[in-house]
Amino acid sequence: MTIRARSEQLADALLAPVRPANAFEETVGRLLQLIRLGVFEPGESIPPERELAVRLGVSRDTVREAIKALADAGFLVSKRGRYGGTFLTDVLPAPGAVDHTGGPAGDDDEPVTRADLDDVLRLREILEAGAARMAAGRTFSATEREALWTRLTDIRDATDDDYRRLDSRLHLAIAEAAGAPSLVGLVADNRMRINRLLDRIPQLEPNITHSDEQHEAIVIAILTGDPAGAADAMRAHIEGTATLLHGFLD
């Protein structure tokens, strides 16, 4: 069996359909897995968009957005012409070697281990999915409802520079809405750790758009008194972020 045939065989095993709730994030993560595990060599082509879309069970637009995101981050390059396609770059970025602008990370950045990621992300799910569930079980005054909705609308109009701050503020507002004051400090501490990790990966526009949709689903579930729906929506949101962090930093 040739090296290329072995690569394709491994790709067949790894390119299973993704979960639709986070299709873009999981497509990026699945492609990064192929790259990180060495299924394809630097300079080698990956399967075409149409084939990836079928294997992953997503639209070609989703695949195209994922490829563009990874090209912007320095993992892939597209070539036109008779021998065109999408190829791994000759020199791949090291894990955690890009920041939110897609440039090099600081020289003083500590390596991120899988244990670090698992710890912060599992704690986030416990804290924030629980906060959303508790918040949805409370009765809000008109002022409290307006305040939470304002946090949501603020993030919709955020610039790239303001997005992380306003995103954090919305999540802290949800923790506050749970009605347990000490929870806010715990979420804030965890959010600082999350933000330091997010600053080390590219800020992807399709992910921002998807996150905004998820934020709205979370807030609507809270304000309509749906604890299970609020927790599920928050969990799906957190899983999308976790997929990207593991993909870029593992």
- Coil, strand or helix: which one is 46? coil
Task: Please determine, for residue 99, whether its predicted confidence score (pLDDT) is greater than 80.
Answer: no
Query: Domains of the chain by range and CATH?
Result: 3-88 (1.10.10.10), 114-249 (1.20.120.530)
Do 23 and 58 form a contact (C-beta atoms < 8 A)? yes
Is residue 105 very low, low, confident or very high in pLDDT (cuts 50, 70, 90)? Answer: very low
Tokens of 209: 């758009």
- Predicted pLDDT at 184: 92
Instruction: Detail the DSSP E strand segments found in 84-205.
Output: 85-88
CA dihedral of residues 170, 62, 19, 151 (deg, nearest 10): 10
Indicate the average pLDDT of the chain. Answer: 87
Which residue from 46, 61, 54, 60 is spatially nearest to 16, judged by alpha carbons?
Answer: 54
Which residue from 81, 77, 66 is spatially nearest to 40, judged by alpha carbons?
Answer: 77
User: Each residue of 54-95: pLDDT tens digit?
Assistant: 999 999 999 999 999 999 999 999 888 777 889 999 888 866
Q: ∠191-195-198 over CA atoms, to 5°? A: 135
Task: Please determine, for residue 124, whether its predicted confidence score (pLDDT) is greater than 70.
Answer: yes
Task: Please determine, for residue 126, whether its predicted confidence score (pLDDT) is greater than 60.
Answer: yes
Which of 69-78, 102-111, 116-125, 167-176 is predicted with the least confidence, judged by mean pLDDT?
102-111
- Predicted pLDDT at 128: 97
User: Each residue of 28-54: pLDDT tens digit?
Assistant: 999 988 887 677 878 889 999 999 999
